Amino acid sequence: MKKLILWILIFFAAVAISPLLINEKGYILIAMGDLTIESTVVMACIMLTLLFIALGLSMTLVRGSLRLGFGGWNKIAFANRRRGLRDFNRGIAAFILEDNQQAEHLFAKAAEPSRFTHTSYLLAAAASSKQSLRSNTNHYLALLAQEDNGVKGSGLESVLVTIKLLISQEDFAQARSIIDKHHKQIGHDARLLSLEIILSLQEKRFDYVIEQLVSARKQKAITNEKIALWEASAFYGAFNETIRKENNDSLAQRWHKLTRKLKHNEVILWAYCQVLAEQKITEPLNKILLPVIKKGADDTFLKNIRQLPISATDELISAVQKQLHNDPHSGKWLSCLANLAAKSQQLPMAEKAFNSLINLAGTQYDVIDLLNFSQVLEQQGEYKKANQVLNKALGQIGSFKNNTLVINNGNEQK
């Protein structure tokens, strides 16, 4: 605009100057019907210049007034939205700082005006869930249910968080409804597959989980530790369900139908042993445990045997005593013998083995040994000694917690 005005001024200046250069003033005549306007070129240029200046001033004034009017209207009309956005941003900061009460309040307040309704309710539900406010969480999840829960509308991540919150609230029916809407994504997203397995375990669909574990093992994003936990829960539940609905023979048949690889999976084997021990099915249990004791190579499995609710332990004790005959100062065999004897109420044998274990050089016992030793002494009426052993066990537990705290603090500093 400025360049245009400048070129017009230059043009008219040239027009005004040119008659002077040729010693003529120049003359302009404009006739429109009965109206006749006469002027010199110089006067016409001056008038046009003044007209353009007046026009420019008028446009500046009009533009300023419009800007002021629209600015005021914008401040009034969108003030609520700006407050909502401000509350939403403050809520995110509070959520990161783990001030969940403040975060919940701000997200709930910002939901409607900020236009991030779905995200705000989702974060408010997460904040209230961390405070264990079940009713609040259910309220926000109910509001979420009224929103668009599709992948296109809110994104898969939002759907995953909603499902996770519903599972934590034990609203399995609603969680199942949302997962079923997105069942096509299960094979393509490890996170959704994980939630499907977790929900199915809660629904006691153990055989279905065992099938899904085949896909889970192929997902690099799912750790072996998670798969091991799911395997333990799924197979333990499946074995228990089989014996509850059918009989011991059906359980044995189910075990024999497993592939050799699955039978040698320590997690699955341990789940089977737990069910056998709980149901007091001694013969097949001993067939599994006796080879482990005779080989004596799997120290972890030997330690786990101490936690099985075994009552008929004579064969196992005999096998352990043979190992002790070859190595009388072995901590793992003394521990195994003491715990097996305690389970079968052979209390004098258990006390003798526990005493030998504690008197070994170094600390070859753990908290489980001390707790079981304390129970053995209590059952024999040796309360003072039982309290001493129990206090020693509690001291080890406290020491472990303190060491864990120091490690965590060190990691935070790093």
What is the arithmetic mean of pLDDT over 148-176?
A: 80
Q: Which domain covers residue 37, as residue numbers? A: 2-77
3-state secondary structure of 35: strand
Same domain, 89 and 123: yes
Residue that terminates a domain, selected from 170, 185, 200: 185
Task: Say which range, 146-160, 231-245, 257-271, 363-377, has the weakest mean pLDDT.
Answer: 146-160
pLDDT of residue 407: 34
pLDDT given at position 409: 43
Give yes or no: residues 108 and 65 share one domain. Answer: no
Q: For 188-195, which contacts have Cβ atoms below 8 Å and span 24 or more sequence positions?
A: 189/156, 190/216, 190/219, 190/220, 190/221, 190/222, 191/160, 191/221, 192/156, 192/159, 192/160, 192/163, 193/219, 193/222, 194/222, 194/226, 195/160, 195/163, 195/164, 195/167
Please tell me whether residues 50 and 142 are part of one structural domain: no
The predicted structure's pLDDT at residue 377: 92
For residues 151 and 353, give the distance between their C-alpha atoms in angstroms, rounded to a whole number.
62
Burial of 273 per CB tally in 10 Å (0-12, 13-18, 19+)? buried
According to the model, what pLDDT value does residue 148 have?
59
Task: Check residue 25 and give its pLDDT.
Answer: 56
Dihedral sign for Cα 164, 169, 172, 174, please: negative
Q: Say how many Å lie between the first and final Cα of the chain, rounded.
A: 61
Q: What sign has the CA pseudo-torsion 354, 359, 364, 365? A: positive
Window from 15-19, 88-92, 210-214, 329-333 with minimum mean pLDDT: 15-19
Q: What is the mean pLDDT of the chain?
A: 81
- Cα(53)–Cα(66) distance, integer angstroms: 20
pLDDT-derived band at 414 (thresholds 50, 70, 90) equals very low
pLDDT value, residue 350: 92
Looking up residue 90, the CATH number of its domain turns out to be 1.25.40.10
Residue 153 confidence (pLDDT): 57
Whether residues 85 and 176 fall in one domain: yes
Any domain includes 29:
yes
Q: Residue 265: inside a domain, yes or no?
A: no
Look at residues 77, 95, 111 and tell me which one is the last residue of a structural domain: 77
Per-residue pLDDT, averaged over 341-363, amounts to: 89
Any domain includes 307: yes
R_g of the chain, CA atoms, integer Å: 42
> How many domains does the structure of the chain reveal?
3
Average pLDDT (274-281) is 90
Share of the chain above pLDDT 90, in %: 24
Neighbouring C-beta atoms of residue 249, cutoff 10 Å: 9
From 77, 98, 126, the end of a domain falls on 77
Note the pLDDT of residue 297.
65
pLDDT at 72: 56
Concatenated DSSP letters of 10-21: HHHHHHHHHHHH
Burial 133-167 (b: 16+ CB within 10 A, else e): beebbbbbbebbeebebeeeebebebbbbbbbbbb
Both 59 and 109 in one domain: the answer is no
Strand, coil or helix: what is 164? helix
67 and 103: one domain? no
Per-residue pLDDT tens over the stretch 124-140: 888 888 888 888 888 88
Q: Which pLDDT belongs to residue 348?
A: 92
Residue 351 lies in a domain: yes
397 and 353 share one domain: yes
From CA 178, how far away is CA 50, in angstroms rounded?
Answer: 73
Q: What is the pLDDT of residue 328?
A: 86
Q: Are strands 35-39 and 28-32 parallel, antiparallel or unpaired?
A: antiparallel
Q: 414 and 346 in one domain? A: yes
Task: Provide the greatest CA pair distance for the chain.
Answer: 140
Q: Are residues 314 and 409 located together in one domain of the fold? A: yes
Assess if residue 208 is contained within a domain: no
Name which residue leads in pLDDT, 80 or 12: 80
Residue in this structure with the two tokens 């040119």, named with its chain if needed: 18
Torsions phi, psi for 227 (to 5 deg): -60, -40
| Residue 71 pLDDT greater than 70, yes or no | no
269 within some domain: no
Do 120 and 48 share a structural domain?
A: no
Q: Quote the pLDDT of residue 378.
A: 92
One domain, residues 144 and 93: yes
Burial class (CB in 10 A: 0-12, 13-18, 19+), 262: middle
- 71 shares its domain with 131: no
Task: Supply the pTM of this predicted model.
Answer: 0.70
Q: How far is CA 82 from the centre of its chain?
A: 31
Residue at 30 is within a domain:
yes
Judge whether 145 lies within some domain. yes
Quick one: pLDDT at residue 236? 94
